[in-house]
């Protein structure tokens, strides 16, 4: 991984490429992706200064090493908290951006309801989103240049020429940030399985292979729940972490 400065698209003199929304095939492959409603891609970003705002968002620099078995939401939250503490941000309450499905006597939990109200900035102080609705409906700044890990490093993207590709991010979540209905497993048994099942994934780089337009939180299903299955389609068991309280 290479540490990179945050980049911000120019607001003037740019032509905007509007990405048409389409329904993602429900398949176990890296070419199944759903663009965000109203999402846009821009050309030639320019350097932007950071800010002194505290970090409130990152992608985990490492997974937990056991595929999509994260020890449930509690284990995932603890992983976020530990990584944040290692870079001096442990004074905030960190939550994993993951949904769970209703099963048995357990009610569903929506990723969007776990992460506080915003705003959230990356490790360089660049604004990712100002609110929950802005995060999900207004083309949030989650893309290759801005979706950094807790160390301020970009996360590998095959679309940007990095190897290995690690743009698949665990979410178990629909595009609006809500949980999938009960039935077909979309959370690897609510983040407790590294064998049977499947998890829904986002693309942090917003690419489907080399084509812009992937959804950051709801691109396609994984091939399975094991570490090897996650790696098969371009992942490493990474997930998003958000600060649920003010810095």
Closest by Cα among 193, 201, 242 to 222: 201
pLDDT of 13 > 90? The answer is: no
In this structure, of 48-52, 76-80, 166-170, the range with the lowest mean pLDDT score is: 48-52
Mean pLDDT, the chain, rounded, equals 83
Q: Work out the number of other CB atoms within 10 angstroms of the CB of residue 1.
A: 14
Residues 30-39 have a mean pLDDT of 37
Q: Highest-confidence range of 24-28, 69-73, 231-235, by mean pLDDT?
A: 69-73
Which residues have CB under 8 Å from 22's CB, separation 6+?
A: 34, 35
**What pLDDT is stored for residue 202 in this prediction?**
97
Cα(225)–Cα(216) distance, integer angstroms = 19
Q: 19 near 28, Cβ under 8 Å?
A: no
What are the distances in angstroms from CA 19 to CA 14, 39, 213, 214?
A: 15, 6, 6, 10
Cα(4)–Cα(2) distance, integer angstroms = 6
Structure tokens that stand for 80 in this block: 């976020």
**What pLDDT is stored for residue 213 in this prediction?**
74
Residues 86-109 have a mean pLDDT of 96
Q: 204 near 142, Cβ under 8 Å?
A: yes
**What pLDDT is stored for residue 40 in this prediction?**
34
């Amino acid at each position: 991984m290479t540490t990179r400065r945050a980049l911000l698209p120019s607001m003037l003199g740019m032509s905007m490429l509007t990405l048409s929304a389409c329904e993602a095939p429900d398949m176990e492959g890296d070419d199944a992706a759903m663009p965000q409603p109203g999402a846009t891609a821009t050309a030639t970003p320019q350097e932007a200064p950071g800010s002194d705002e505290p970090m409130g968002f990152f992608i985990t620099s490492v997974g937990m090493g056991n595929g999509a078995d994260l020890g449930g939401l509690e284990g995932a939250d603890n992983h976020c908290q530990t990584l944040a503490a290692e870079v001096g941000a442990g004074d905030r309450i960190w939550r994993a951006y993951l949904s769970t499905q209703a099963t048995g006597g357990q009610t569903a939990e929506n990723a969007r309801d776990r992460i506080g109200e915003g705003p959230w900035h990356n490790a360089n102080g660049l604004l990712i989103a100002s609110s929950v609705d802005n995060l999900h409906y207004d083309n949030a700044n989650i893309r290759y240049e801005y979706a950094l890990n807790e160390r301020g490093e970009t996360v590998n993207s095959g679309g940007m020429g990095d190897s290995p590709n690690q743009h698949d991010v665990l979410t178990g979540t629909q595009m609006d940030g809500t949980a999938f209905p009960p039935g077909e497993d979309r959370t690897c048994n609510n983040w407790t399985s590294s064998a049977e099942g499947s998890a829904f994934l986002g693309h942090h780089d917003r690419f489907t292979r080399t084509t812009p337009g992937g959804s950051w939180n709801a691109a396609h299903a994984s091939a399975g729940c094991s570490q090897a299955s996650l790696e098969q389609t371009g992942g490493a068991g990474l997930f998003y972490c958000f600060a649920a309280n003010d810095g």
